[in-house]
């Protein structure tokens, strides 16, 4: 079955950096688009960034220029490099496998969210 394990979160001061990892199994990773989501307390889960199987990337405006999504197909792993972090970036970060429809990333139907990894940005 599909399993996605997020790691790399932690506590960081504003302006700092973190690198998140998502290790995937149970999918043909090399042909899967991947996305990073986040959910802050009391708020809806939102898409942060996505990457196609061929490596093209998409970012939401609120992280553009600060975050970088990448993938290593040999390791079945997706990364999210987060720089110049802000307190409003505080959330639990999740990854998901999906596809692009009309240019937009969509998680696979029936996707079950894992535990995610906590990112806390605070002085």
Overall residue count recorded for the chain in this entry: 123
DSSP state of 102: T
Quick one: pLDDT at residue 109? 87
Whole-angstrom distance, CA of residue 53 vs CA of residue 7: 21
Convert the pLDDT of each residue in 45-92 to its tens digit.
999 999 999 999 999 999 999 999 999 999 999 999 999 999 999 999
């Amino acid at each position: 079955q599909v399993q996605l394990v997020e790691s790399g979160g932690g506590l960081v001061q504003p302006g700092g950096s973190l690198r998140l990892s998502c290790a995937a199994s149970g999918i043909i990773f090399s042909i899967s688009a991947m996305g990073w989501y986040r959910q802050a307390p009391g708020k809806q889960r939102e898409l942060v960034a996505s990457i196609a199987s061929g490596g093209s990337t998409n970012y939401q405006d609120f992280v553009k220029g600060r975050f970088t999504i990448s993938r290593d197909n040999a390791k079945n792993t997706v990364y999210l490099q987060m720089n110049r972090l802000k307190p409003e970036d505080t959330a639990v970060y999740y990854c998901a496998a999906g596809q692009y429809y009309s240019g937009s990333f969509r998680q696979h139907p029936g996707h079950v969210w894992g535990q995610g990894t906590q990112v806390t940005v605070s002085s």
